[in-house]
Homo-oligomer: A and B are copies of this chain.
Amino acid sequence: MSKLTLVSSNKTFGGEQRVYSHESSEVGCTMKFGVFLPAEALAGTKLPVVMWLSGLTCTEQNFISKAGAQRVAAELKLIIVNPDTSPRGLNIEGEDDSYDFGSGAGFYVDATTNKWKKNYRMYSYVTKEFLSLVHDNFPTIPDKQGVFGHSMGGHGALIMTLKNPGMFSSVSAFAPISHPMECPWGHKCFGGYLGEDKDTWKAYDASVLVKTYDGPPLDILVDQGSADNFLKENQLLPEKFIEACKESNVPCVLRMKEGYDHSYYFIASFMEDHLRHHAKHLHH
């Protein structure tokens, strides 16, 4: 069990927003993460946990300072955890050259190319090491966990749910990268981390994975702003995911939100809806 170091703790909405660091064996560096513990968890009551996955460029700070999740999580008695978006400070040549590859852009895959495969293992980090660490260290109910995220993190939430039937009891996404095989961000990251054989990319594409999903019924909630520049640039392609869900009879609601963009101002506006969606399934 990896040891946690407390980085910060701030009382908020009756609970505590904490940041910890730990030495990760999966990605081979020090990783930070956030955890919000409602008052009941601080008093030792076991609660469901919802994991948030952030988008490109984010650290653990963006979500915890801007999303306004703590107020709702306190009310709904949910623990929220949020890992970082990539390994950090590895001194791999090129890791800091662009906002959409390398640092801040792990894309929640396990890299297979020589340069990245040792450390860029965010898929295994999050689904195995990080979640184990959460359940080992905080008063969670291990079989009541949900996942949600934004953009690259929405992609992460969808693929982790689809690749691991039964692991998550609830799932939702804000403006997810829904069909990364067919968008520029996906091309860049899949090409760099997985190589040029596109068959290998299918293992991390929600619009492909949903077609072979075979597990407990899902109830997927997706919110997408209509004024999101990345929607217009065909980076997100939520319509492709919805089509694939329909073909596969997987229930997914896509709510187009008129005038909203890709920012945390959009996320904050619908955070309460999403957490109520998770609570409905997790407090069942």
CB distance from A218 to the nearest CB of B (A): 29
Residues from chain B with a CB closer than 8 A to the CB of A94 are none
- Among A114-122, A134-142, A265-273, the one that faces the other chain is A265-273
Name which residue of chain B comes closest to A227, CB basis.
B11
A264 to B13, CA, bound (A): 11
Residues from chain B with a CB closer than 8 A to the CB of A65 are 65-66, 264
- Among A181-189, A246-254, A255-263, the one that faces the other chain is A255-263
B11 contacts A266, C-beta separation under 8 Å:
yes
CB distance from A34 to the nearest CB of B (A): 12
Name which residue of chain B comes closest to A12, CB basis.
B265
Residues from chain B with a CB closer than 8 A to the CB of A227 are 11
Residues from chain B with a CB closer than 8 A to the CB of A263 are 10
Name which residue of chain B comes closest to A270, CB basis.
B13
Does A54 touch B at the CB level, under 8 Å? no
A13 contacts B66, C-beta separation under 8 Å:
no
Does A70 touch B at the CB level, under 8 Å? yes
Residues from chain B with a CB closer than 8 A to the CB of A178 are none
CB distance from A68 to the nearest CB of B (A): 5
B265 contacts A10, C-beta separation under 8 Å:
yes
CB distance from A45 to the nearest CB of B (A): 18
A66 to B71, CA, bound (A): 13
- Residues 172-225 of A at the B interface (beta carbon under 8 Å): 225
- Residues 221-238 of A at the B interface (beta carbon under 8 Å): 225, 227
- Residues 1-53 of A at the B interface (beta carbon under 8 Å): 10-14, 17
B71 contacts A13, C-beta separation under 8 Å:
no
A265 contacts B11, C-beta separation under 8 Å:
yes
Residues from chain B with a CB closer than 8 A to the CB of A70 are 265, 268
Name which residue of chain B comes closest to A67, CB basis.
B68
A158 to B17, CA, bound (A): 30
A230 to B65, CA, bound (A): 21
Q: Mark A53-77, 1 if CB is under 8 A from B, else 0.
A: 0000000000001101011000000
The residues of A with any CB-CB pair to B shorter than 8 Å are 10-14, 17, 65-66, 68, 70-71, 225, 227, 259-261, 263-266, 268-269
A-B contact pairs, 21 of them (CB 8 A): A10-B265, A10-B266, A11-B225, A11-B227, A11-B261, A11-B265, A11-B269, A12-B260, A12-B265, A12-B268, A12-B269, A13-B268, A13-B269, A14-B269, A17-B265, A66-B66, A68-B68, A68-B71, A70-B265, A71-B268, A71-B269
Closest 7 CB pairs of A and B: A12-B265, A10-B265, A11-B259, A68-B68, A11-B260, A13-B269, A12-B269
6 new A-B contacts, CB < 8 A, other than A11-B260, A65-B66, A68-B68, are: A11-B265, A11-B266, A12-B260, A66-B66, A70-B268, A71-B268
